[in-house]
C-alpha cells in the first residue's frame, strides 16, 4: 500500500461539507429533506441574510448572502430557519473526530471544512479509499454530505473539493494544471476575489494561465507579495503544511450588524457602536489578544460600503477603548447619509503577553502599578506554561451569541476544534 503514496511529496485532502447548516437541519429533522431550505441570520427582520441554503433552494436561484426578502420572492415555498449554533458546533466536532481517526494532522479552517495530511496514513488504504471511507462514515454516522479534494498540496486540494458538489471526490495533480486550471478566469481561482481579479485585468491577466506566466515585478507592484504568491498557486506551488495548531492564530476579530432601519440619528448610531465594541472586546479577551489596528465599516442606504482603519499606539481590547476609537473613526469618515450597516474589526492582533505598550505620560502611572502583578504572572507562565493562569476575559460570553445576531460565528467556533481541547474533553 505504501507504494501508492509519493516517496517525497505529500497527499493532502480537503474535506468540505455540502450546504453544512442546511444539511445539519435536515439530519436533525428528516422531513426537511428534498425541500428548499435556507438558514437566515434574522428570520423575522429586514436584515435577514441567507447564510446557506439547500441545493433544492439553489435551483430557484437562492444564494448565500442574498437578502431574505429576495430569496422568498424567487422561491415562495422556501422554508427558513434561524441558525442553531450549538447544533452546528456538535455536528462539526463529530466530523473532525472522524477525520482524526485517519491522521493527527488535521487542520480545521472553518466550522465545516478542513485539511488532512494523509501521507503517512497508508495503513487505511489508498488516498481514494481513505476519501471514500471518510465520505461514507460522515454520511452514515452523521447523515451529512461532503466533497473531498485529493492533491499534493493545500491549494490544489481546496480547488479539487470545489469541482464536484455534492458528494464529490476529485483528484487534482500538478500535471493536470495546464488543462484544468489555466483556461479558467482568475476570478474562479481560490484566493482571488472580485477586486483582485479586476486589478489583474488592468495588466492583461484574464486567466489563471496568464497569472501563471505573469511577470513577478508587475505582480508585486500591483498586489505586493500576495501577487507573487498567487502566481505560485497558479503554477500549483504551495508549501504550507497542514498545521493542527493554526486554528489558534487569528488575523482579525470583528462584528457587524444591519440596523433595523436606515438612520442618521447619531445617538442610535453610537448605541450600535457601543454594542459592537462590547462584542469585539469579549472576543479579543477570550482569545487573549489585543488589536493594534482598528477598522470601522459603514454601509449606506444606497449599499455603498466603506471601511476605514487607524493604527493604534497602545494595543487595545477594552470595550471603552474600542468604543472611543470606533466613534472617532466613524465621525471622521461619515458623510451624513442614512446608514444601513455598521461594523468594527480589530486587525494586526498580538498575544496579550507579548503586547508592548508605548506608554505615554498619562498611562505610565497606571501601568507601573500593575508591573509587580504582571511580573509575577509572567514568572508563573514561564515556569508552568502559558495556560496556567488566564484572564477572566477569556471566559466571557460573546454578547452576539446571546442575541443570535452574530455575522461571524464561523470564526468563533474554531477554538472548539483544537486538538488540545479534544484531548481534554
Q: CA 355, 370, 397, 258 torsion: positive or negative? A: negative
Fold of 20-85: MutS, DNA mismatch repair protein, domain I (3.40.1170)
Span 234-238, average pLDDT: 97
The answer to pTM > 0.75 is: no
Q: Do domains 2-18+86-175 and 20-85 have the same CATH topology?
A: no
| pLDDT one-digit tens code per residue, 198-207 | 999 999 999 9
The answer to whether 348 is annotated as binding is: no
User: Hey, is 148 helix, strand or coil?
Assistant: strand
| pLDDT band, very low/low/confident/very high, at 404 (cuts 50, 70, 90) | very low
The answer to whether 398 is annotated as binding is: no
For 93, how many CA atoms within 13 A lie in the half-sphere containing its CB?
Answer: 16
What kind of architecture, by CATH, is found in domain 246-358+390-424?
2-Layer Sandwich (3.30)
Helix axes 266-286 and 319-333, enclosed angle (nearest 10): 140
Q: Does residue 352 have a pLDDT over 80? A: no
CATH number given to 182-234: 1.10.150.20
| pLDDT one-digit tens code per residue, 248-296 | 555 789 999 989 899 999 999 999 999 999 999 999 988 888 888 999 9
Span 59-87, average pLDDT: 92
Q: In what order do the strands lie in the sheet with 146-151?
A: 106-110, 113-117, 12-17, 146-151, 169-171
Q: Which residues are catalytic?
A: 113
Span 94-123, average pLDDT: 94
| pLDDT band, very low/low/confident/very high, at 45 (cuts 50, 70, 90) | low
pLDDT at 279: 94
| pLDDT one-digit tens code per residue, 15-27 | 999 999 999 999 9
| Rounded Cα–Cα distance for residues 392 and 361 (Å) | 28
Percent of the chain with pLDDT over 90: 62
89 vs 181, which has greater pLDDT? 181
CATH number given to 2-18+86-175: 3.30.70.270
| Rounded Cα–Cα distance for residues 234 and 215 (Å) | 13
DSSP class of residue 164?
Answer: S
Backbone angles phi, psi at 66, to 5 degrees: -75, 140
Q: Where are the domains of the chain?
A: 2-18+86-175, 20-85, 182-234, 246-358+390-424
Amino acid at each position: 500500500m505504501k507504494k501508492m503514496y509519493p516517496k517525497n511529496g505529500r497527499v493532502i485532502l480537503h474535506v468540505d461539507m455540502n450546504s453544512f447548516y442546511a444539511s445539519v437541519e435536515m439530519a436533525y429533522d428528516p422531513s426537511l429533506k428534498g425541500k428548499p431550505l435556507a438558514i437566515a441570520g434574522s428570520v423575522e427582520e429586514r436584515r435577514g441574510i441567507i447564510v446557506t441554503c439547500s441545493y433544492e433552494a439553489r435551483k430557484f436561484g437562492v444564494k448565500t448572502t442574498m437578502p431574505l426578502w429576495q430569496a422568498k420572492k424567487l422561491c415562495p415555498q422556501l422554508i427558513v430557519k434561524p441558525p442553531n449554533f450549538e447544533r452546528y458546533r456538535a455536528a462539526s466536532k463529530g466530523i473532525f473526530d472522524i477525520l482524526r481517526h485517519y491522521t493527527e494532522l488535521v487542520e480545521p479552517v472553518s466550522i465545516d471544512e478542513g485539511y488532512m495530511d494523509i501521507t503517512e496514513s497508508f495503513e487505511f488504504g489508498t488516498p481514494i479509499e481513505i476519501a471514500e471511507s471518510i465520505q461514507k462514515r460522515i454520511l452514515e454516522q452523521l447523515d451529512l454530505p461532503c466533497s473531498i479534494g485529493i492533491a499534493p498540496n493545500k491549494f490544489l486540494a481546496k480547488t479539487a473539493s470545489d469541482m464536484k458538489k455534492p458528494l464529490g471526490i476529485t483528484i487534482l495533480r500538478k500535471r493536470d494544471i495546464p488543462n484544468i486550471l489555466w483556461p479558467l478566469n482568475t476570478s474562479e481561482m481560490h484566493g482571488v476575489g472580485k477586486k483582485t481579479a479586476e486589478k489583474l485585468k488592468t495588466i492583461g491577466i484574464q486567466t489563471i494561465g496568464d497569472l501563471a506566466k505573469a511577470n513577478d515585478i508587475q505582480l508585486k507592484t500591483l498586489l505586493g507579495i500576495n501577487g507573487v504568491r498567487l502566481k505560485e498557486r497558479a503554477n500549483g506551488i504551495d508549501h504550507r503544511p497542514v498545521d493542527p495548531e493554526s486554528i489558534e492564530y487569528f488575523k482579525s476579530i470583528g462584528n457587524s450588524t444591519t440596523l433595523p432601519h436606515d438612520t442618521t440619528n447619531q445617538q442610535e448610531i453610537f448605541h450600535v457602536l457601543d454594542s459592537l465594541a462590547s462584542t469585539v472586546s469579549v472576543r479579543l479577551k477570550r482569545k487573549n489578544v489585543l488589536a493594534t489596528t482598528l477598522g470601522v465599516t459603514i454601509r449606506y442606504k444606497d449599499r455603498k460600503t466603506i471601511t476605514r482603519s487607524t493604527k493604534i499606539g497602545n494595543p487595545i481590547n477594552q470595550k471603552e477603548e474600542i468604543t472611543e476609537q470606533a466613534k472617532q473613526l466613524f465621525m471622521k469618515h461619515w458623510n451624513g447619509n442614512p446608514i444601513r450597516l455598521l461594523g468594527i474589526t480589530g486587525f494586526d492582533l498580538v498575544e496579550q503577553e507579548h503586547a508592548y505598550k508605548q506608554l505615554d505620560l498619562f498611562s505610565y502611572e497606571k501601568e507601573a502599578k500593575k508591573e509587580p502583578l504582571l511580573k509575577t504572572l509572567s514568572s508563573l507562565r514561564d515556569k508552568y506554561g502559558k495556560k496556567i493562569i488566564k484572564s477572566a476575559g477569556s471566559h466571557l460570553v460573546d454578547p452576539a451569541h446571546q442575541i443570535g445576531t452574530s455575522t461571524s460565528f464561523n470564526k468563533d467556533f474554531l477554538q472548539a476544534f483544537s486538538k488540545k481541547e479534544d484531548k481534554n474533553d
